[in-house]
């Protein structure tokens, strides 16, 4: 005895919706199946529901990625505003600790001279789960207060642009074109100024 093959395992949602429509067409006005259950109308309704929810879920994923990128940009902009205000407060206060504290800022500890900062080492750039994004981390020596990250599109002569500043030895980057090759490098910043750049590391954006 022969049996109908389900043929519905391990197929995508759009393919499943098309399969439902094909089955509905197969039993519609087919004298061999005069009382098909579920009915063709039920199959079509289920296919339409699958397509609607799939499209809504896809749109939500795209919106989430867009909002994450927007959040990252706003966060970086906030860091820059704080850094600019700190520079202004330093200048206007003429280094008076009590005046600095009235601004809402705490007073930084006097840095201990550590000499010229060495370049960060062991730079690692790893694709993240989001398209066009990557996680970056590195090692640095004592005396580094913050770090500057630069990125360049692959070319015979690399032209780097600053894409971020942070105080931690790791960060996340986005806004890359999937499949495109980029190069990254990091420099440490401390009391002695900026270090040399780390060895550049390539990445094909996910």
Q: Quick check: is 7 in a domain?
A: no
- Of the residues 26, 45, 60, which one is the last residue of a structural domain? 60
Q: Quick check: is 68 in a domain?
A: no
- Domain holding 23, by residue range, is 13-60
The structure tokens listed for 71 are 């959040």
Separation CA 150–CA 186 (nearest Å): 6
pLDDT, average across residues 175-191: 92
- Tell the residue number behind the tokens 């509905």, with chain if given: 24
The string of pLDDT tens digits covering residues 92-148 is 889 888 988 888 988 887 755 556 889 999 999 999 888 889 999 999 878 889 999
Total structural domains within the chain: 2
| Residue-level pLDDT at 113 | 57
Q: Quick check: is 92 in a domain?
A: no
What global pTM score does this model have? 0.46
Higher pLDDT, 198 or 20: 198
SS3 string, 39-88, reads CHHHHHHHHHHHHHHHHHHHHHHHHHHHHHHHHHHHHHHHHHHHHHHHHH
Q: Quick check: is 87 in a domain?
A: no
Q: Quick check: is 95 in a domain?
A: no
The string of pLDDT tens digits covering residues 28-76 is 999 988 888 999 999 899 989 989 998 998 888 888 888 888 888 888 8
Higher pLDDT, 10 or 150: 150
Q: Quick check: is 101 in a domain?
A: no
Q: Quick check: is 161 in a domain?
A: yes
């Amino acid at each position: 005895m022969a049996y109908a093959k389900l043929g519905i395992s391990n197929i995508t949602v759009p393919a499943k919706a098309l399969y439902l429509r094909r089955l509905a067409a197969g039993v519609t006005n087919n004298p061999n199946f005069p009382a098909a259950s579920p009915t063709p109308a039920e199959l079509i309704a289920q296919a339409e529901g699958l397509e609607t929810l799939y499209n809504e879920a896809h749109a939500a994923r795209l919106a989430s990625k867009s909002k994450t990128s927007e959040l990252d940009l706003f966060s970086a902009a906030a860091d820059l505003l704080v850094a600019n205000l700190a520079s202004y407060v330093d200048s206007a206060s003429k280094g008076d600790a009590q005046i600095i504290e009235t601004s809402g800022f705490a007073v930084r500890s006097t840095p201990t001279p550590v000499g010229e900062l060495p370049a960060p080492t062991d730079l690692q750039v790893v694709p993240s789960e989001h398209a066009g994004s990557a996680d970056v981390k590195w090692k640095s020596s004592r005396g580094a207060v913050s770090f500057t990250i630069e990125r360049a599109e692959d070319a015979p002569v690399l032209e780097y642009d600053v894409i971020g500043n942070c105080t931690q030895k790791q960060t996340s980057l986005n806004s890359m074109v999937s499949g495109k090759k980029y190069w990254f490098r990091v420099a440490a910043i401390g009391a002695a100024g900026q270090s040399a750049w780390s060895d550049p590391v390539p990445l094909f954006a996910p």
